[in-house]
Structure 1
Amino acid sequence: MPEVCPVLGLAIYFAVLGFSPDGKLFAGENQYSRFLKVLKEILNRDVMNVTLAEVSMSANSFGTHSARKGAATYVSGCSTSGPSAAAICLQAGWTLPGVQDKYIRYEAAGDMVVGRFVAGLPFDSPNFAVLPPFFDIQSGQIDESVVLRHRVKEAMNSIFPGVPSNLSSVCQFCLASLLYHRSFLLKTLPSTHLLFATPVFSSSNESQLQWLRQRVVCRNVKENDIISSCGIPPHVGLMVELAYYKSEMVKMREDLSHAFEAALKRHINGSIMSMEALEAAFSSVLARSNLVQHNLHLVQSALDNTNATCIDQSNGVRSELILWDGTFHRVAKYFVLPSGTVRVVWQQWCGGQPPLRLLTKHDMSSRLKKVRLSELRRVMLLIETLLTQEEL
């Protein structure tokens, strides 16, 4: 929410008015009176009067302490997992007589989490842990880090001349915030605003600022970042981790999809796969294995009864298929090749149920049976060769 971002507000103030020589944030005297005067002037504008009337309020409903009181009210009641009442009171500057600094003390963790709530960050989202805009080294190289540090220093000397040494780190975040919210500032502020007369929006500095703008990020913390998130409640930390795992799963799904598509293109004719191409490929495989099935009800029959029938495409012989070990076979798992005379075996070879000549190694359940089938086929093929000779 750049509208209420304290870093962006401080950046605009420093860029336009500079720094007070006496070390005070706001120059001059009677800051209280000046703030009240500006506040009343804004609240008495016509557009504000209309807006306040819609919520049954007027300009007199607000004063110099309204921001502090309203922020305390919001933080104490906006969430069931908000900061402690003591942390809110200490941040608001309200004393706790009898216990403050004795039993209830200031701690950085409570102060930080109150600051995140007051900044308007979404407390029910992983974005509650978001970092402020900052300069990130995209390549992770030391050379780029040196160049980035040098360019940031040059930009700060131009935009924040005379910055005190104790505000140098603060002004780096201010510079990053100005660059990150450039579009928002151009859209929101009037064209006559003094900020547009500063080097931030100077055309002569555009190339340098554009280079810096490309290296400004605003996101949740990552490994090896130069800064880390502070004031993060435990449940927000869990949400951040879950959001990370979700993004990784989405990325994994996309990567698998691309990898599968690439594999299809690479292994199937080197072209884009289609349903027609898939059907043709499967039909070719089934035809080579003599397992082509033309009727859908046969598949259902196989699922219900673990049996089905197929038609050999070469001679039209119909045979039963038996399901075992997860695939279809022409004989049962415990089938044994018949023994007997050559005549008996020849009859089974040509007209058995099923004909033995239709069997393959795939139909045999053991290595020994496969060897015997191979030997039987060799003998039967020799007999067929002899029977087809002209002299016989």
Structure 2
Amino acid sequence: MIHLDHISVRSNAIGIVFCKWKTDQSGTKRRNPRHIYSNPMEAQSCVFLAIAIYLVCHPQLSMGKLLPGAAQKDRFGKQLAKLLSHPETTCGRSEYGTHSIRKGAATFACSGSTGGPSIVSVYLRCGWSLGNVLERYMHYEGAGDQILGRVMAGLPINDASFAILPPHFKMPFDSDVSSVINKVFPSLSRVPALHSVLAFCLSSLAHHAQALEMLIPKSHPIFYSRVFTDVDMVPMLKARLVTQDSVLPATRIPPYVGLHKELARATTEMRSILNEVIRGVDAHLETKGVTAGNLT
């Protein structure tokens, strides 16, 4: 069960610590964070956005369980069954179940491309046993979990954008940003340890605001929150957002993604050279014409 104090910012990711796993029911093993990443290009796949919507719609949520109440597992199962029973849903209850998310994610991570994360990272992320021998020699390491987190976010592994940063504020402790955090998250904003998490949530919400209006019914509670009822809030937040050229590092990306980024940068520079040459020639001809006394 996830508590709010299990959630923290890890550089450009959000880390979640699970106290118990399928293979560690006593909770005695090392509690390593599982990294989740933003997807600035696809609102439907952005976990940061999903967390933001949930927290904004529950402004009085206080420290403790992320999902209050009891029998969360049963509630999730019932809600999933209700979703799959909807007339507009193309798949049926016989095809998907509560374990389908984990199975599908593991399959996508291992076989969704020819250059995915290691199978050990996938096993550890899913909480599956490696067996008595492998568990003695193969352990968790942040780099493996981080690249897996980017894959799970739906970022394209064969493109320079795999290293994209989450939408974030140039100055996260800006007085205006802090004021908005206090208004939107009146209870959780009192917890200093969550400030960076709330800033990531707010930045993703502002970044995807336009997409949300197309994806979610107007009757959704998110549109009755301060973020959307205050018409000046989203534009003000967007003006302070960046997703690149930042001091925030992109953690543990594969070496070839760095090459993709350099190739993309070189291509952009080469395209700009043509315009610079044309402007230079035009300026030179203009100067020569004026010197010769010709009208230009």
Fold in common (TM above 0.5): yes
- Deviation per residue, 1:309-356 (Å, 9 max, x gap): xxxxxxxxxxxxxxxxxxxxxxxxxxxxxxxxxxxxxxxxxxxxxxxx
- How far off is 1:231 after superposition? 3.0
The equivalences for 1:1-392 within 5 A come to: 1-18=42-59, 20-48=61-89, 51-52=90-91, 58-99=92-133, 101-136=135-170, 145=171, 149-163=174-188, 164-203=191-230, 206-219=231-244, 222=245, 225-269=246-290
Letter in 2 for 1:254: N
The CA distance in 2 between the partners of 1:270 and 1:207, in whole Å, is 54
The structure-2 alpha-carbon separation of the partners of 1:259 and 1:30, relative to structure 1 and needing over 3 Å to count, comes to: same
Amino-acid identity (%) = 35
The CA distance in 2 between the partners of 1:87 and 1:168, in whole Å, is 29
- How far off is 1:19 after superposition? 5.9
SS for the counterpart of 1:60 is: coil
Letter in 2 for 1:112: Q
- Deviation per residue, 1:289-327 (Å, 9 max, x gap): xxxxxxxxxxxxxxxxxxxxxxxxxxxxxxxxxxxxxxx
Letter in 2 for 1:78: G
**TM-score normalised by length of structure 2:** 0.79
The CA distance in 1 between the partners of 2:273 and 2:60, in whole Å, is 50
The structure-2 alpha-carbon separation of the partners of 1:229 and 1:80, relative to structure 1 and needing over 3 Å to count, comes to: same
- Deviation per residue, 1:35-87 (Å, 9 max, x gap): 11111111111111xx23xxxxx222111111111000011001221111000
- How far off is 1:18 after superposition? 3.3
The structure-2 alpha-carbon separation of the partners of 1:187 and 1:60, relative to structure 1 and needing over 3 Å to count, comes to: same
The CA distance in 1 between the partners of 2:77 and 2:291, in whole Å, is 75
Q: Which runs of 5+ in 2 are unaligned?
A: 1-41
- How far off is 1:20 after superposition? 4.0
SS for the counterpart of 2:137 is: coil
- Deviation per residue, 1:239-286 (Å, 9 max, x gap): 011111111121222222222222222322489x9xxx9xxxxxxxxx
**In 1, are the aligned partners of 2:165 and 2:243 still within 8 Å (CA)?**
yes
Q: Which has the larger radius of gyration?
A: 1
SS for the counterpart of 1:89 is: helix
The CA distance in 2 between the partners of 1:149 and 1:2, in whole Å, is 25
- How far off is 1:99 after superposition? 3.6
Letter in 1 for 2:180: A
The CA distance in 2 between the partners of 1:114 and 1:31, in whole Å, is 26
**In 2, are the aligned partners of 1:19 and 1:162 still within 8 Å (CA)?**
yes
**In 2, are the aligned partners of 1:7 and 1:174 still within 8 Å (CA)?**
yes
**In 2, are the aligned partners of 1:116 and 1:231 still within 8 Å (CA)?**
no
Which of 1 and 2 has higher RCO (CA within 8 Å, sep 6+)? 2
Deviation >3 Å, runs of 4+: 18-22
**In 1, are the aligned partners of 2:62 and 2:187 still within 8 Å (CA)?**
no
The structure-2 alpha-carbon separation of the partners of 1:40 and 1:238, relative to structure 1 and needing over 3 Å to count, comes to: same
Q: Which runs of 5+ in 1 are unaligned?
A: 53-57, 137-144, 278-392
Q: Which has the higher helix share?
A: 1
The CA distance in 2 between the partners of 1:67 and 1:236, in whole Å, is 27
SS for the counterpart of 1:72 is: helix
The structure-2 alpha-carbon separation of the partners of 1:31 and 1:256, relative to structure 1 and needing over 3 Å to count, comes to: same
* Aligned counterpart, 1:346: none
Letter in 2 for 1:180: H
Letter in 1 for 2:259: L
Paired residues in the alignment total: 252
